[in-house]
Structure 1
Amino acid sequence: MPLGAVHPITEEIRDDGVKVDKIFTDKCSGGTRNRPALTEMLRYVREGDTIICHSIDRLARDLQDLLHLVETLTDRGVGVRFIKEAMTFEGNASPMQTMILQVMGSFAQFERSLIKERQREGQQAARARGKLPGRRKSLSPEQITELKARVSAHEPKARIARDLGISRETLYAYLKAA
């Protein structure tokens, strides 16, 4: 049974014209080891299934993780197919396929390292310009004071949130933080 192991890029699999029986989608980076959909997929697959990924870096960006995943799956009788690289692993990988997987996995790991380095440099530059990391606050200190006063006056929270242009969830987060 073909299974799609993808990142948030489900369209890539569809655009490749591949039919799959079940799609597992992670919302986080391929560089993250503990991904809920990957864990679910690893529990779900059975011997004879084939996992289809758009590209190697969608499955893992760490070389050791990639090699471990492919080896673990193929040892269980599960095929792993990478569309972009036109490679399929089914337990009988040739030395050439293994070498190509290692080289491509190394590039994915290298790319991840570059991304992290650029991110770190960007954060340092932002701090040097006086920018604080993280998301900008939705409400000013004056608006927070207004919010608390209106809640104390038993005004409906939905109306307060609407008037301040925030969601009720954000309103409750401000109240909890107070």
Structure 2
Amino acid sequence: MADIAYIRVSSVDQNTDRQLDGLTFEETFTEKASAATTKRPELENCLRYLRKGDTLHVHSIDRLARNLEDLLRLLNELVGRSVAVKFHKEHLTFTGEDNPFQTLQLQIIGAVAQFERSIIKERQREGIAKAQAKGKHCGRKAKLTQDQVEEIKKRITAGDEKKALAAEYGISRQTLYRIIKK
């Protein structure tokens, strides 16, 4: 029966210090990755590490998952393996016991976290649309200049090999085909 911690922040420049501060654990898994993806290596390592009777400590529900489906899947998997899950900020502990009130709280909090994530994405899309309407470029800077694009098109028409052109200009063949289509 061990106390194990999972700590996550969304980006590499964020600090993990405030999460589970002052507590001691047998093992701590720290991740700097968005919860928007379910592919988080440290979470996967943590899940493999946990044993029957262990308690997984997480600062808050949104540190473990960002949508209700993922949260419920993770909790069901863990309590099904007799691993307790404790969310410190919300003061909730799930042990697999049938507790309707805790289940309701979990679903409400998980739904709010999912809603919050959707709102963030919507605001991001709106901001991008406004910036584009003002003529601003959004996204990564173009790898090729317009002169290079024209040169590539001429060379393809002249019969140059696409694979060789992609390698010469340091672009993928997918990017090359996108240039050809334009």
What's the TM-score bracket when you normalise by the shorter of the two chains? 0.7 to 0.9
Which consecutive unaligned segments of at least 5 residues does structure 1 have?
142-174
1:40 aligns with 2:45: yes
Residue matched to 1:65: 70
Q: Summarize the Cα distance change of 1:91–1:37 in structure 2 as closer, same or farther, 3 Å threshold.
A: same
After TM superposition, list the pairs within 5 Å mapping 1:18-57 onto structure 2: 18-57=23-62
Supply the RMSD in Å over aligned alpha carbons: 2.3
Distance in 1 (CA, whole Å) between partners of 2:90 and 2:117 is 18
| TM-score for both structures, normalised by structure 1 | 0.72
Q: Tell me how far 1:130 sits from its aligned partner.
A: 1.7
Q: Distance in 1 between matches of 2:125 and 2:134?
A: 14
What one-letter code is carried by the residue in structure 2 that aligns with 1:19? T
| Residue matched to 1:101 | 106
CA distance in 2, matches of 1:13, 1:27: 13
2:6 aligned with 1:5, yes or no?
yes
Change (3 A) 1:86 1:24: same
TM-score (norm 2): 0.71
How many residues align? The count is: 144
SS in 2 for 1:40: helix
Hey, what does 2:136 align to over in structure 1?
131
For 2:91, the equivalent position in structure 1 comes to: 86
Q: Larger deviation: 33-42 or 112-121?
A: 33-42
Q: Distance in 1 between matches of 2:16 and 2:95?
A: 23
Cα deviation for residue 128 of structure 1 reads: 1.2
Normalized per residue, the structure richer in helix is 1
2:20·2:59 contact (CA, 8 Å) conserved in 1?
A: no
Structure 2: 5+ residue runs without aligned partners? 10-14, 146-168, 172-182
